[in-house]
């Protein structure tokens, strides 16, 4: 049985890799340099492989109520996003640390710790909107474009080794696989993070949530980092909470409130 699984994974890797680098791939969207590296269809295939190994190597948080709630919220937010491919898949991870991440192909990973520590639905939505913005802006593909090397192929090989480790039940290889997946949890550039904050805020507000939700969530993360140390907050390692980022969130909320007040005054007059 293990040999059958291993062969299947190898064939899947060959199929995905051929799609990733095929010269017959769909033409890139004008102005979208990321499409020249990897198509949306190829990102989706890569995401399915990533998701399979995520479930194999990280503990799932099994709670139907939380799963259903998270999925409905993500899809609600996606309706106000710039996503063109809404084949999303949400994974709840049984980790107490506060974290969420986006992976290519519509993958949203959510640590149980984020659900427990978010005090309002708006705070939870602010994080999910940020991750959806990473997907809609195709930051993974754009990072590959910036690097202009074979990093995508290297990522595919890493995922393949994880898959084979799982198929052969090799504990040492599985440990390497877990470390590789952690490394693959997509640390985006500062510019990507700022763009995801800006677009995520706009989409969150469009979905009807409090504009201050993002800054409130940042304050919550600051409080948790003081109590437990920033090293304990995985989210802050991949999403550094700089003074500028906090100030930008507060400024956006204030700007939105001022704009709303002006509209109300005009209507009254």
Residues with a known catalytic role:
131, 197
DSSP-assigned letter for residue 201:
H
Q: At what angle do helices 121-136 and 64-78 cross, to 10 degrees?
A: 60
Give me 77's structure tokens. Answer: 């937010």
β-sheet bridge partners, residue 109: 91, 101
Strand order in the sheet with 89-93: 89-93, 107-111, 100-103
- Give me 265's structure tokens: 């005054």
Burial 5-15 (b: 16+ CB within 10 A, else e): eeeebeebbee
Q: Indicate the helix (H) or strand (E) that contains 92.
A: strand 89-93
| Closest by Cα among 237, 57, 46, 54 to 155 | 46
Task: State phi, psi for 209 to the nearest 5 degrees.
Answer: -95, 160
Dist CA 85 CA 179 (whole Å): 29
139-147 and 190-206 are packed helices; what angle lies between their axes, rounded to 10 degrees?
A: 160
Of the candidates 55, 31, 58, 49, the residue with the CA atom closest to the CA atom of residue 138: 31
């Amino acid at each position: 049985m293990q040999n059958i699984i291993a062969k299947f994974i190898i064939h899947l890797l060959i199929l995905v890799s051929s799609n990733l680098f095929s010269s017959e791939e769909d033409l890139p969207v004008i102005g979208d340099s990321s499409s020249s590296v990897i198509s949306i269809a190829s990102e989706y295939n890569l995401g399915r492989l990533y998701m399979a190994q995520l479930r194999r190597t990280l503990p799932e948080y099994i709670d139907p109520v939380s799963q259903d709630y998270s999925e409905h919220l993500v899809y609600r937010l996606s309706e106000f996003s710039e996503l063109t491919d809404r084949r999303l898949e949400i994974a709840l991870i049984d980790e107490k640390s506060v974290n969420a991440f986006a992976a290519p192909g519509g993958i949203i990973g959510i640590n149980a710790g984020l659900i427990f520590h978010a005090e309002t639905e708006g705070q939870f939505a602010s994080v999910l909107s940020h991750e959806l913005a990473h997907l809609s802006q195709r930051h993974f593909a754009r990072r590959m474009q910036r690097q202009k090397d074979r990093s995508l192929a290297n990522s595919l090989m890493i995922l393949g080794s994880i898959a084979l480790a799982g198929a052969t039940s090799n504990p040492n290889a599985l440990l390497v696989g877990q470390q590789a997946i952690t490394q693959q949890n997509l640390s985006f550039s500062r510019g990507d993070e700022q763009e995801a904050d800006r677009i995520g805020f706009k989409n969150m507000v469009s979905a009807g949530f409090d504009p201050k939700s993002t800054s409130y969530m940042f304050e919550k993360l600051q409080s948790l980092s003081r109590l437990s140390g920033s090293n304990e907050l995985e989210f802050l390692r991949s999403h550094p909470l700089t003074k500028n980022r906090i100030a930008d969130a507060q400024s956006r909320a204030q700007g939105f409130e001022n704009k709303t007040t002006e509209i109300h005054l005009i209507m009254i007059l």
